Amino acid sequence: MTSEICIYDLATASERVVFETDQHIEAPNWHPDGFLVVNGGGGLYRVPLDAPALHRIDTGFATRLNNDHGMSPDGRILAISDKVETGESCTYTLPVAGGAPQRITQNVPSWWHGWSPDGAQIVYAGAQRGDRVVRIYTCPSTGGPERLVVDGFDHADGPDYSADGAWIWFNGEREGAVNIWRIRPDGRDLEQMTGGDSVDWFPHPSPCGAHVVYLAYPAGTIGHPGGCDVTLRLMPQGGGAARQIVALHGGQGTLNVPCWAPDGAAFAFVRYGP
């Protein structure tokens, strides 16, 4: 299998491959200093856009990373999700250049997904109530009490803050339908933002406040598998019809975490080949 790290440019409605590898790579973040952060094989890597290559980031004891990772708004801190210490996914932070992980979430499993624009809170998916139902929580970015934000779904996942911090976007499943939703960080004003037959995952609001990009699976897809023919769709952040912008072979790993360039003019994703 090959992994292609791609960038989609909104102004030209075009995509380009910036790096290709035989290693299985997932979930690109975009750092303000011009590099991407991706994961693969339990590790984390920096990919400079001016000279693309995989440079391993030191994550200390955390060597069983999944693809739920991302950086603080100021670009100084990385959040990671790893299960070496706890046996199930747990959220930690460390310097963006690498270093010793500091545990943030006390309850597991927890999968990091987003950072509030002021850097004070993280939002994550968790299954901590004994029923294994995945719900959405927030807690201080330095650790502390967690707050249940989204309940009442068969599964809720992929949360990400809007650029103004007014909304948390997420994908939620009810009665077999998986759509994009948003909610206030205090749990008020729940709104369904997509409908139809597609199975919609991983919404990411743009930093400019204009768009949301998300991953759409074919009708009937269970969970968020890899190795599927999927599409990337773009919709207005205020709500409205979505449009397909990319068709690709991917799924899990393509667009799991915040992926936008800091100016909101482009985003990164991963396409997979044979």
What does the pLDDT look like over 148-165, one tens digit per residue? 999 999 999 999 999 999
Q: In angstroms, rounded to a whole number, what is the distance separating the alpha carbons of residues 183 and 189? A: 6
Quote the pTM value. Answer: 0.97
Q: What is the number of structural domains in the chain?
A: 1
1 pLDDT exceeds 90?
A: no
263 pLDDT exceeds 90?
A: yes
Residues near 101 by beta carbon (within 8 Å), at least 6 away in sequence: 59, 60, 61, 62, 80, 82, 92, 93, 94
Rounded mean pLDDT, 37-62: 98
Q: In angstroms, rounded to a whole number, what is the distance separating the alpha carbons of residues 42 and 182? A: 31
What does the pLDDT look like over 57-73, one tens digit per residue? 999 999 999 999 999 99
User: 173, 183, 118: which is closest to 148 by C-alpha?
Assistant: 183
Query: With pLDDT > 90 as the criterion, what percentage of the chain qualifies?
Result: 97
Q: In angstroms, rounded to a whole number, what is the distance separating the alpha carbons of residues 246 and 171? A: 19
Domain extent for 115:
2-273
Give the distance from CA 165 to its chain's centroid. Answer: 16
**Which pLDDT score, from 0 to 100, does residue 274 have?**
82
Average predicted confidence (pLDDT) for the chain: 97
Rounded mean pLDDT, 191-212: 97
* CATH number of residue 238's parent domain: 2.120.10.30
Residues near 168 by beta carbon (within 8 Å), at least 6 away in sequence: 114, 123, 136, 138, 149, 150, 159, 160, 161, 162, 182, 183, 184, 185
Query: With pLDDT > 70 as the criterion, what percentage of the chain qualifies?
Result: 100
pLDDT band with cut points at 50, 70 and 90 for residue 106: very high
